[in-house]
Amino acid sequence: MRLLAGLMGLALLSACVQPSGPTPASRQAVSFVPDAQGLAVLPSNQRVDFGRSPKGVIPALTRELGRPTTLPLTGCPTGITQRLRWAELELSFTAERFVGWKRGADQRGRVCA
């Protein structure tokens, strides 16, 4: 008798549970496309232009592309304090600004040799 009452209680509780909502759509892959002004963020119309703070640029790229590789500052112009690489994309920073990118043979802004 107690077993039957327990099973009925469980059945009533399960009826109170809300069905799960629709699964959120998976995030669309983001691409950072280098250009003369910095980086275009596709498929959105957003940009990461030269002059932006590393405090905003680095976390955004890390969130989308994963942890970067820190590169040595050998061959860098005066003022470059940080050089990071995500796959083929290398970015250069001063203490306060995103100042250059390099990808393969292409480059814009202030980059290291």
Tens digits of residue pLDDT in 76-111: 999 999 999 999 999 999 999 999 999 999 999 999
Per-residue confidence band for 27, with pLDDT thresholds at 50, 70 and 90 = low
Is the peptide bond between 59 and the residue preceding it cis, with omega within 30 degrees of 0? no
Q: Does a structural domain hold residue 26?
A: no
Domain count, the chain: 1
Q: Is the pLDDT of residue 24 over 70?
A: no
Mean pLDDT of 8-37: 64
Per-residue confidence band for 2, with pLDDT thresholds at 50, 70 and 90 = low
Q: Does a structural domain hold residue 109?
A: yes
Q: Does a structural domain hold residue 19?
A: no
Tens digits of residue pLDDT in 31-79: 999 999 999 999 998 999 999 999 999 999 999 999 999 999 999 999 9
Rounded Cα distance, 93 and 49, in Å: 12
CATH number at residue 94: 3.30.310
Q: Does a structural domain hold residue 18?
A: no
Retrieve residue 14's tokens: 């399960």
